[in-house]
């Protein structure tokens, strides 16, 4: 289990770099005039934010989808190779994305909760500690959901079923 956690963490490091790179690229593309104008027009239909905020959100969602997809593939072939049989499955991919959303929500909830309640006197330090804890919580949630739900060990087919 420790080896799987380390492998999962290494995949996470790679995907953090992918996430950041795709975010920067998507944001830059969404700011090109030929893309920005229609995007801003579409965003103006909703009074819930500015085009700049919508650009950040859209770029972030795009980056998360790419990184989560890469994470699914890498984890299927490395961390959870035995459980997945090194096979990519749509149902497992959907469960992996759903578990990633749960991890993202756990991260955000932990950050908000701890940044408001940790007994650390300096605001910047309190937020930094809260963010570190949030990263650990989302790692535990994502690893647990991947291990016990997405890539759970499947029983071998019995001779009665295969015969």
Closest CA to 39 of 56, 20, 22: 56
Which 8-state DSSP code applies to residue 150? I
| pTM beyond 0.95, yes or no | no
* pLDDT exceeds 80 at position 28: yes
Per-residue confidence (pLDDT) for residue 126, from 0 to 100: 81
* pLDDT exceeds 60 at position 162: no
Q: Which two tokens stand for residue 116?
A: 């408001």
Per-residue confidence (pLDDT) for residue 159, from 0 to 100: 54
Per-residue confidence (pLDDT) for residue 24, from 0 to 100: 82
Alpha helices per DSSP H over 1-50: 2-30, 33-44
Q: pLDDT-based confidence at 105, cuts 50/70/90?
A: confident
Per-residue confidence (pLDDT) for residue 156, from 0 to 100: 67
Across the range 118-139, mean pLDDT stands at 80
Q: pLDDT-based confidence at 109, cuts 50/70/90?
A: confident
The residue whose two tokens read 């950041």 is 20
């Amino acid at each position: 289990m420790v080896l799987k956690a380390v492998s999962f963490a290494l995949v996470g490091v790679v995907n953090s770099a992918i996430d950041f790179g795709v975010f920067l690229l998507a944001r830059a593309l969404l700011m090109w005039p030929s893309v920005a104008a229609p995007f801003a027009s579409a965003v103006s239909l909703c009074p819930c934010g500015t085009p700049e905020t919508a650009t950040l959100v859209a770029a972030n969602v795009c980056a998360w989808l790419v990184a989560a997809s890469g994470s699914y593939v890498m984890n299927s072939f490395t961390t959870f190779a035995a459980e997945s049989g090194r096979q990519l499955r749509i149902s497992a991919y959907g469960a992996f994305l759903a578990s990633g959303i749960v991890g993202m929500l756990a991260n955000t909830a932990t950050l908000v909760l701890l940044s408001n309640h940790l007994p650390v006197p300096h605001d910047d330090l309190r937020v930094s500690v809260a963010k570190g804890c949030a990263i650990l919580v989302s790692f535990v949630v994502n690893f647990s959901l991947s291990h016990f739900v997405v890539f759970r060990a499947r029983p071998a087919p019995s001779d009665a079923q295969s015969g």
